[in-house]
A and B are shown apart, each in its own frame.
Chain A
């Protein structure tokens, strides 16, 4: 039984590590800011939870596992908030997020993008 838990735990930790590396590669390879957010969310949503899950299996039924579980919950609440804040700041700063799908209609006519571009200096 111990062996099964060890194997599962190492599998999760290795998968998490692999996704961390893939996220890093994506961060370097992808061409623009908004695409790079997706690579970063790969590390947020896959790398960290897998590693924490593997560590929880290692620590068994203890307070450490509970703390790791708290970590997981906080991570799942804060990482989308951070991604969203980043994306919104980039939009506000006048970065162009790419092609628009027909469902998106016309870009919002607040004229803020050009003004913000000038303000960047």
Chain B
């Protein structure tokens, strides 16, 4: 599933699809430019070494697809909470810094978790150090929610099993 030629072919197809959908013009000259720029991008990505199972956008999209609907619902819920706090005359906020552990075993998984925290209004990831996240919360009520670890578990589940050829996450 993670052979190198397949990853390259998938990446090329994805890039080509993005080009075609963005341009919407299907003339021979432009199609030639499309193929050339896709090849250039593939060559650059290969030089950078970013086409592997962990970073591959196609696999990443497929892997985290089931996680998005849940995250969207969480974003709506916490948006309403933040809106309520902002609009209420007493403004019940208690800005707090705290730390949580990330249980993901790939760098990509941790970044997805950290970005999910930031995307959810009311919490912002300040730092990601190894598997430890420093988070700023608008109110201390949201801390218990994050410490309960539901989001963490869901990202880890979406991340799935470690594929054989993935690099070790950097040690701290």
Contact = CB atoms under 8 A, between A and B. Distances in A.
Interface of A: 19, 22, 25-26, 29-30, 32, 34-35, 37-39, 41-42, 44-46, 63, 66-67, 70, 76-77, 79-81, 83-84, 87-88, 91, 97-101, 103-105
B98 to A, nearest CB: 3
A38 B82 contact: yes
B97 interface: yes
**Size category of the binding interface on chain B:** 35 or more
B110 interface: no
A84 B97 contact: no
Contact of B121 (A25, A30, A38, A103): A38
Interface of B: 18, 21-22, 24, 75-76, 79, 82-83, 86-87, 91, 93-100, 114-115, 118-127, 134, 136, 138, 140, 143, 147
A97 B134 CA distance: 11
Given A38-B121, A97-B97, 17 more contacts: A30-B93, A34-B95, A34-B124, A41-B118, A42-B83, A44-B119, A46-B79, A76-B119, A79-B119, A84-B124, A97-B136, A101-B97, A101-B98, A103-B99, A103-B100, A103-B147, A105-B99
B126 A87 contact: yes
